[in-house]
Amino acid sequence: MSTAEAGAASSPRSAPGLLQILWLASPALPVGGFSYSEGLEAAVDAGLVSDEASAAQWLIDQLHLGLARADLAVVAQAIPAWRADDLARIQALNAWVLQTRETAEFRLQTEQMGRSMLEWARCLGELGAGVFERLQSARLDPASYPVAMACAAASADASVRDSLIGFAFGWAENMVQAAIKSVPLGQSAGQRMLARLAREIPAAVAHAMALKDSERQAFTPLLAIHSARHETQYSRLFRS
pTM of the predicted structure, to 2 decimals: 0.91
Q: Do 109 and 198 contact (CB within 8 A), yes or no?
A: no
User: Among 218, 179, 151, which residue's Cα sits nearest to residue 34?
Assistant: 179
The full DSSP string for 100-130 is T--SHHHHHHHHHHHHHHHHHHHHHGGGGTT
In tens, the pLDDT along 98-123 reads 999 999 999 999 999 999 999 999 99
User: Among 147, 148, 166, 149, which residue's Cα sits nearest to residue 205?
Assistant: 166
Q: How many C-beta atoms surround the C-beta of residue 40 within 10 A?
A: 27
DSSP 70: T
In tens, the pLDDT along 182-239 reads 999 999 999 999 999 999 999 999 999 999 999 999 999 999 999 998 988 777 788 7
